[in-house]
Amino acid sequence: MAEKKQRKLVSVILNILTVVLLVVGLVLVFNKPIQKYLLHQKTNSYQVTKLDKKQVKANEKAQATFDFDQVEPISLEAIMKNQVSAKDLPVIGGIAIPSVKVNLPIFKGLANEVLLYGAGTTSEQQKMGEGNYGLASHRMFDDSLLFTPLDHVKVGDKIYLTDLSKIYVYQAINNQRVSPDRVDLLDVVPGKRLVTLVTCGEMSGETRRVIQGELKEIVDFDHGTKAMKEAFEMNSNH
Distance (Å, rounded) from C-alpha 60 to C-alpha 127? 10
Distance (Å, rounded) from C-alpha 159 to C-alpha 228? 10
From 40, 138, 152, 223, active-site residue? 138
Distance (Å, rounded) from C-alpha 116 to C-alpha 1? 56
200 flagged as catalytic: yes
Supply the pLDDT for residue 53: 93
Q: Are strands 102-107 and 91-97 parallel, antiparallel or unpaired?
A: antiparallel
Is the sign of the CA dihedral 28, 209, 171, 68 positive or negative? Answer: positive
From 40, 152, 200, 223, active-site residue? 200
Average pLDDT on 55-74 reads 88
Distance (Å, rounded) from C-alpha 103 to C-alpha 199? 15
Residue type, 116: L
In order of their start, the domains of the chain are: 2-231 (2.40.260.10)
pLDDT class of 42 with cuts at 50, 70, 90: confident
CA angle 45, 48, 51 (to 5 degrees): 85
34 pLDDT higher than 60: yes
Question: Which pLDDT tens digit goes with each residue over 86-117?
Answer: 568 899 999 999 999 999 999 999 998 888 89
pLDDT class of 68 with cuts at 50, 70, 90: confident
Distance (Å, rounded) from C-alpha 61 to C-alpha 78? 26
Supply the pLDDT for residue 170: 98
138 flagged as catalytic: yes
Q: Are strands 194-200 and 158-162 parallel, antiparallel or unpaired?
A: unpaired
